[in-house]
């Protein structure tokens, strides 16, 4: 049930002056569900917050603005004490986000973000899961393109298998079959921050490379759980495939969901992600080019001097991102293929689809993140406190909310 609360606000957007923060604020200003919400914009610069508020139109001219200092614990305690849910869009989270999570865990305030930083999420689990369980704070990372389509997509498939066949799927394979979108400066900064941290602490490679890095008790993964790194031909799709750049995040989140839910899909459940690039010679060439391009990028980014040149001359700066026209033209389509044995003993295959219009990382992500916050604030979610995942906290309730918001979640026999 939604928590009883005497707080001043239902939702606060922290980091509202950043690129994604502005998109989340704009979505909340336009969505009908927010009309019943008491919400506010928060950051450290009042003048910039006023600019964001002005961009939302005359109807929001009196929208409250809240100032806080991300480095001051007392300031953050005061901030989170005023709201039921806080949305954090301030990345890189490993650099800017830890103190806010700590404040939410202390004060029992629900929290959601769009991080894809596995090593940082592991730190937050170790540091705050127990306290968040005690305070009732639901700390929910990865509420954007990483990892809602993956996490809720698998939950959708498993629920369909349970309802139709009385059992669970042994494995689910995720393929990004269509996608168009851009990169913002915030995402670029998170990627380079990750390489900076790896340079300082090479042991982080063991965390990032562990398929079960986010499990309550991390365990060694099996060879078949390793992320796809090269070129493969998928017989079931009839297409050439290559690595999906967010697989190293999404797969860990899905496995944590299975663990937090009590392993309803079995401890041997297999999950993988890849990008599909088409059939025949054209698909082969496209996939080969993508594999080579990703390899070259990560090779360059792993060298400090070259990484600085990427930041200076190639990657967008913080605050920059796709234009409104580019965001509007973006989209993604994900196909999920699952296999399992029915209660009657027959082998079953299911096919699922998750899709959305709008740039995946920005238009679609701002919608997913905002709806996750509204779900925590208003919907009947029974999850207790802790460092959770979208599936283990909001589950099918969030799926239904996102369907109403225009996303596709569909399962075929």
367 and 355 both lie in a single domain: no
412 found inside a domain: no
| Tokens 């928590």 sit on residue | 3
Q: Hey, is 352 helix, strand or coil?
A: strand
Average pLDDT (278-296) is 92
348 and 393 both lie in a single domain: no
Domain count, the chain: 2
Q: In this structure, what CATH number is given to the domain that contains residue 396? A: 3.40.50.720
Write the DSSP string, 265-298: T-TT-EEEEEEE--SHHHHHHHHHHHHHHHHHHH
139 and 195 both lie in a single domain: no
391 found inside a domain: yes
299 and 384 both lie in a single domain: no
Check if the beta carbon of residue 87 is closer than 8 Å to that of residue 113: yes
Q: Is the pLDDT of residue 2 over 50?
A: no
334 and 321 both lie in a single domain: yes
| pLDDT value of residue 36 | 77
| Tokens 């913080």 sit on residue | 318
Q: Look up the domain containing 128 and give its range.
A: 9-145+362-406
328 and 213 both lie in a single domain: yes
125 found inside a domain: yes
191 and 120 both lie in a single domain: no
CA–CA distances in Å: residue 132 to residues 111, 128, 227, 293: 11, 6, 31, 41
| pLDDT value of residue 1 | 40
Give the tens place of pLDDT for each residue, 110-162. Answer: 999 999 999 999 999 999 999 999 999 999 999 999 999 999 999 999 999 99
Measured in degrees and rounded to the nearest 5, phi and psi for residue 46 equal: -65, -40
| pLDDT value of residue 4 | 46
2 found inside a domain: no
Q: Is the pLDDT of residue 67 over 50?
A: yes
pLDDT-above-70 percentage for the chain: 96
Measured in degrees and rounded to the nearest 5, phi and psi for residue 269 equal: -55, 130
> What length does the chain have?
413
| pLDDT value of residue 185 | 65
Pairing status of strand 9-14 against strand 39-43: parallel
| pLDDT value of residue 186 | 64
Helix (H) or strand (E) holding 393: helix 390-393
Check if the beta carbon of residue 106 is closer than 8 Å to that of residue 135: yes
243 and 383 both lie in a single domain: no
413 found inside a domain: no
| pLDDT value of residue 33 | 62
pLDDT-above-90 percentage for the chain: 77
- Extended strands (E) in 235-276: 239-242, 270-276
Q: Peptide bond preceding 196: is omega within 30 degrees of 0, i.e. cis? A: no
113 and 173 both lie in a single domain: no
CA–CA distances in Å: residue 71 to residues 44, 76, 95, 262, 268: 11, 8, 11, 36, 42
272 found inside a domain: yes
125 and 81 both lie in a single domain: yes
| Confidence band, pLDDT 50/70/90 cuts, at residue 351 | very high
Q: Is the pLDDT of residue 3 over 80?
A: no
210 and 320 both lie in a single domain: yes
Q: 313 burial class (0-12, 13-18, 19+ CB within 10 angstroms)? A: exposed
Contacts of 365 (CB under 8 A, 6+ apart): 20, 23, 114, 144, 145
Give the tens place of pLDDT for each residue, 219-277. Answer: 888 889 999 999 999 999 999 999 998 999 999 999 999 999 999 999 999 999 999 99
Contacts of 101 (CB under 8 A, 6+ apart): 88, 111, 124, 128, 139
411 found inside a domain: no
CA angle 371, 321, 118 (to 5 degrees): 60
What whole-number distance in Å separates Cα of residue 13 and Cα of residue 22? Answer: 9
Mean pLDDT of the chain: 92
What whole-number distance in Å separates Cα of residue 106 and Cα of residue 194? Answer: 27
210 and 270 both lie in a single domain: yes
| pLDDT value of residue 361 | 87
Check if the beta carbon of residue 14 is closer than 8 Å to that of residue 44: no
The residue with greater pLDDT, 23 or 198, is 23
The token pair at 101 is: 């999570």
Average pLDDT (361-384) is 94
Cross-strand partners of 178: 333
377 found inside a domain: yes
């Amino acid at each position: 049930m939604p928590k009883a609360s005497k707080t001043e606000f239902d939702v606060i957007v922290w980091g509202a002056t950043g690129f994604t923060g502005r998109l989340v604020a704009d979505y909340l200003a336009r969505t009908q569900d927010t009309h019943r919400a008491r919400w506010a914009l928060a950051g450290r610069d009042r003048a910039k917050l006023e600019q964001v508020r002005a961009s939302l139109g005359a109807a929001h001219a009196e929208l409250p603005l809240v100032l806080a200092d991300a480095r001051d614990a007392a300031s953050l305690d005061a901030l989170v004490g005023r709201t039921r849910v806080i949305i954090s869009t301030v990345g890189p989270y490993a650099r800017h986000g830890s103190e806010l999570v700590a404040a939410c865990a202390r004060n029992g305030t629900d929290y959601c973000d769009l991080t894809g930083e596995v090593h940082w999420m592991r730190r937050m689990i170790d540091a705050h899961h127990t306290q968040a369980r005690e305070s009732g704070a639901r700390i929910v990372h990865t509420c954007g393109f990483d990892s809602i389509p993956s996490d809720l997509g698998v939950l959708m498939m498993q629920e369909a298998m349970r309802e139709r066949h009385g059992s669970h799927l042994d494995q689910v394979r995720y393929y990004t079959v269509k996608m168009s979108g851009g990169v913002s400066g915030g995402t670029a900064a998170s990627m380079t921050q990750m390489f900076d941290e790896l340079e300082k602490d090479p042991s982080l490679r063991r965390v990032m490379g562990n398929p079960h890095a986010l499990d309550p008790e991390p365990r060694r993964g099996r060879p078949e759980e390793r992320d796809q790194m090269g070129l493969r031909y998928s017989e079931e799709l009839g297409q050439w495939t290559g690595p999906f750049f967010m697989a190293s995040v999404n797969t860990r989140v899905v496995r944590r969901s299975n663990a937090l839910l009590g392993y309803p899909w079995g401890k041997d459940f297999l999950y993988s992600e890849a990008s599909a690039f088409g059939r025949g010679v054209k698909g082969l060439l496209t996939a080969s080019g993508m594999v080579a391009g990703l390899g070259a990028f990560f090779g360059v980014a792993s060298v400090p001097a070259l990484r600085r040149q990427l930041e200076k001359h190639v990657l967008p700066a913080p605050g920059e991102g796709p234009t409104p026209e580019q965001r509007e033209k973006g989209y993604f389509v994900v196909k999920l293929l699952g296999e399992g044995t029915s209660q009657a003993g027959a082998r079953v295959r299911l096919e699922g689809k998750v899709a959305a219009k709008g740039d995946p990382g920005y238009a679609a992500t701002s919608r997913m993140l905002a709806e996750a916050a509204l779900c925590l604030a208003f919907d009947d979610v029974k999850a207790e406190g802790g460092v959770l995942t979208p599936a283990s906290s909001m589950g099918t309730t969030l799926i239904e909310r996102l369907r109403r918001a225009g996303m596709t979640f569909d399962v075929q026999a």
